[in-house]
């Protein structure tokens, strides 16, 4: 996810951005979509930190993990939060698809895209691939663990550990954490930049924070399937 400025939307025909005509409306709606993508992405980033913290209890054993799952199941707000999370994910995907398609189909003569020198990285170029992998991974994952074969939170540890005994599942999970790391590490700084928090002194720090946090989250998740596969 590149910032508005990096993608060149704001460097596209300047009168169009300032004007109130069709191009002005299009530029405004493109900025709105990017802001939606940034806010929903940051929301899911926060969810992932909480999700990882809870899942790391798998390493402490069945009592801790099942106790945590039972605690979550008792919170009355959990269903509204889950619905909110689903809406965040759908809005993130819809705005990302729309922005990406818009960038791909933008005609070069109308949109003189000027990329900031050196701003393109492997992570930024593979955002859509990472997004695609996660869009397949997340529904499969929720189906497997949320609706998998278990009776209540007290059996969730068993379900997760049994699943990770299957090499296809364990290594599939581990593999999916690579695009997750790439996606998070670029998306974090990019979201702040889209939201206008991009003073030159702050930019390298946000990039570093995104890379460290993104890869820590991905590595934290990556430990779990390996723990389930090798650790018992």
Please identify, using beta-carbon distances, which residue of 63 and 82 lies nearer to ligand HEM. 82
Please identify, using beta-carbon distances, which residue of 119 and 126 lies nearer to ligand HEM. 126
Phi, psi dihedrals of residue 159, rounded to the nearest 5°: -60, -45
Beta carbon of residue 1, minimum distance to ligand HEM (angstroms, whole number): 15
Please identify, using beta-carbon distances, which residue of 90 and 142 lies nearer to ligand HEM. 142
Beta carbon of residue 224, minimum distance to ligand HEM (angstroms, whole number): 4
**Cα 161 from Cα 152, distance rounded (Å):** 15
Q: How far apart are the first and last CA of the chain?
A: 39
- Report in angstroms the alpha-carbon separations of 50 from 101, 118, 204, 217, 220: 32, 33, 26, 10, 12
**Contact positions vs ligand HEM (CB under 6 A):** 48, 51, 55, 69, 72, 82, 85, 134, 138, 141-142, 145-146, 156, 160, 173, 180, 221, 224-225
Please identify, using beta-carbon distances, which residue of 38 and 180 lies nearer to ligand HEM. 180
Beta carbon of residue 142, minimum distance to ligand HEM (angstroms, whole number): 5
Beta carbon of residue 16, minimum distance to ligand HEM (angstroms, whole number): 37
Two structure tokens written together for 205: 């720090």
Taking the CA atoms of residue 173, residue 179, residue 185 and residue 187 in that order, the dihedral angle to the nearest 10 degrees is: -120
């Amino acid at each position: 996810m590149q910032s508005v400025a990096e993608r060149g939307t704001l460097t596209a025909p300047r009168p169009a951005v300032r004007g109130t005509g069709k191009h002005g409306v299009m530029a405004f709606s493109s900025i709105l979509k990017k802001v939606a993508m940034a806010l929903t992405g940051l929301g899911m980033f926060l969810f992932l930190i909480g999700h990882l913290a809870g899942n790391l209890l798998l390493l402490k054993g069945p009592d801790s993990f099942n106790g945590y799952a039972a605690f979550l199941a008792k919170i009355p707000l959990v269903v509204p939060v889950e619905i909110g999370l689903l809406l965040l994910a759908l809005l993130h995907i819809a705005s990302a698809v729309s922005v990406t398609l818009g960038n791909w189909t933008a005609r070069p003569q109308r949109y003189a895209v000027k990329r900031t020198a050196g701003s393109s990285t492997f992570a930024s170029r593979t955002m859509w691939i990472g997004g695609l992998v996660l869009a397949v991974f997340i529904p499969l994952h929720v189906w497997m663990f949320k609706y998998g074969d278990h009776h209540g939170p007290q059996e969730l540890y068993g379900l997760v550990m049994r699943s990770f005994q299957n090499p296809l599942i364990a290594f599939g999970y581990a593999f999916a954490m690579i695009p997750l790391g790439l996606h998070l590490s670029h998306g974090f700084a990019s979201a702040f930049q889209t939201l206008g928090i991009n003073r030159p002194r702050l930019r390298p720090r946000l990039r570093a924070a995104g890379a460290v946090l993104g890869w820590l989250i991905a590595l934290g998740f990556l430990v779990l399937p390996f723990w389930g596969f090798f650790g018992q």
